[in-house]
Amino acid sequence: MNPHQIIKTIFFDIGGVLVKVDSSDSIQKLSRKLGVSTEKIRQGMTRELLNDYEKGYLTSNQFYEQLLINYDSKHTMDMETFKGFWLDVLFPCTESMAFLERVTKDFPVWLLSNTNDFHYDLLMQDFPFMKCVEGGTYSFMVGSMKPEPLIYEIAIKKSGFRPEEILFIDDLEANVQAAQNQGINTIHYVDFSSFSQELSQRFPELGYLL
């Protein structure tokens, strides 16, 4: 990367950067409702099933129905109850959300996230930052998820900027590496304090945003 490259737009991941994802309470609620162990709840949400859902290969109804099959419970649960449990996993990261708000005053901001339609609807409803950005590239809408190259290619094209003009912030190393492979500048987000330090050191021209 050219250390003197001028950043013209910033891409944010959502989960792990702008919102905290914590499913522990939801898993407990599902366990009590269905009368199965929390371990079985976790096992039923297989990585393959979640990936298919976040790539848009499954509708929300199909995802819900497959989960009930996996749980093999004697109890029933309607879709609205399940949706309420499923939505109760996202919590705001106030420092990074405030940073995004400051960024939007001077830069076009885009979101690049692996997510599903349930969570997208909740984000649009409860998190104002979703409506103050230029737009986003979401896995369930494009049939590809990070760290697959295609989702980055779509996001770059949608933004209208060259990869070297983009700064991408994500909490997963694999996603950061995949973005770097596309020529994008990146910061691996661990917490806001370390993020602030790295931003100031590597992109001092953006330090005023902190």
- What pLDDT is recorded for position 5? 63
- What pLDDT is recorded for position 204? 95
Q: What is the DSSP letter of 88?
A: T
- What pLDDT is recorded for position 111? 98
**pTM for this structure?**
0.92
**Residue located via tokens 């770059």:** 156
114-134 pLDDT per residue, tens: 999 989 998 999 999 999 999
Architecture of domain 9-21+90-209: 3-Layer(aba) Sandwich (3.40)
72-119 pLDDT per residue, tens: 999 989 988 988 887 778 999 999 999 999 999 999 999 999 999 989
Identical fold for domains 9-21+90-209 and 24-87, yes or no, is: no
**Considering only CA atoms, which of 124, 91, 141, 107 is closest in space to residue 12?**
107
- CATH entry 1.20.1740 includes domain 24-87: no
Q: Where are the alpha helices (DSSP H) in 88-171?
A: 94-103, 117-126, 139-142, 149-159
* Segments of the chain scoring below 70 in pLDDT: 1-5
Q: What are the structural domain ranges in the chain?
A: 9-21+90-209, 24-87
For the chain, percent of residues with pLDDT exceeding 70: 98
- What pLDDT is recorded for position 87? 76
- What pLDDT is recorded for position 86? 78
- What pLDDT is recorded for position 22? 92
Helix axes 149-159, 173-181, angle to 10 degrees: 60
